[in-house]
Amino acid sequence: MIHPTAIIHPQAQIGSGCEIGPYCVIGEHVTLGDNCKLHSHVVVDGHTKLGRGNEIFPFAALGMKTQDLKFKGGSPRLDVGDQNVFREGVTVHCATNDHEATVIGSHNLFIIQAHVAHDCILGSHIIMSGYAGLAGHCVVEDHAILGGYVAVHQFCRIGKFAMIGGCSKIVQDVPPFVIVDGNPGETRAINKIGLQRHGVSEEAQNALKKAYKILFREELSHPNALAKIEAELPALPEVSHLVQFVRASERGICK
C-alpha cells in the first residue's frame, strides 16, 4: 500500500495497514501508527508521532520546523493522537524548544489550509474550519469549533464546547460553553445547540445560563462574579470548569 513514487526514510517507523500515496515524503524521525492513510503529496517530517487511523490529504505538511525565530535547534516534537483528519494544505509545526511538543488529541477535523503553530496543545473532537489559524502556545479544549478564517493570538486559550464565528479575531481567552464572534471577538451567548447535541444535562445548561448572566451581564469584576457563581449555583462539573477556566486566565477573557 506504498506508492512507488513515495519517499520514505529507512529509519521511519510505519505501522501496519498504512496507505501512502504518490509523491509523499516521510522523514527519518517519523512514526506512523497503524492504518494511517496519506493521500498524494503529503509531507510528514521532524520528530513526529502519529497515532492510529489518521487521514492526511494532499499538500498537508505535518511536523515541519517551527517558524518561531527563537528556535535554537534540538529535537522538538509533534505528537498526534488517533483518527484525526487533516484536509488539503493543513500545516502543523513542531514545538520551538528541545524536548517540548506541539500536541494534538484524537478525532479532530482540520479543514483546508488550517494552521496549528508551534507549542499548541489541542484536545479532541475539535473542528478547525478552512484557513483558521492558531499562533504559538495556544490551548484548545475538547469539542471547540473555530469557524473559517478565525485568527487566534499566541498564548490564547479556547474553552471546551466554545464556538467561534468565522473571520473572528481572538486576542483573549474564549471561555468554555460560549459563542464568540467579531473583530475583536466578543462573547455573544451560551452555545446552547452545542450543549444539547452533546448531551449536557438540562440542569447544567440552566446553571451555565445563569453563570453567563452573572459573568457577562451584571457588570461585576471577575473575582466578584466568580464568587457569586460559586455561592449561588450548584457545583456541577460544567460550572466548576467555567469558574476555573476564567480564574486561571492570564490574558483576560473575551467579553
> 237-247 vs 202-217: helix axis angle to the nearest 10?
30
Concerning whether 136 is annotated as a catalytic residue, the answer is yes
Catalytic pick among 45, 68, 79, 119: 119
Mark whether 118 is an active-site residue: yes
Angle between helices 237-247 and 222-232 (to 10 degrees): 160
Sign of CA dihedral 247, 80, 146, 94: positive
Identity of the amino acid at 182? G
Instruction: Point out the catalytic residue in the list 29, 41, 47, 118.
Output: 118
Burial 217-233 (b: 16+ CB within 10 A, else e): eeeeeeeebbebbeeeb
Measured distance CA(27)–CA(81) in Å, rounded: 18
Q: Is 79 a catalytic residue?
A: no
Catalytic residue among 89, 123, 136, 185: 136
Measure Cα distances from 175 to 43, 49, 248 in Å. 34, 30, 11
Q: Which residues are tagged catalytic?
A: 118-119, 136
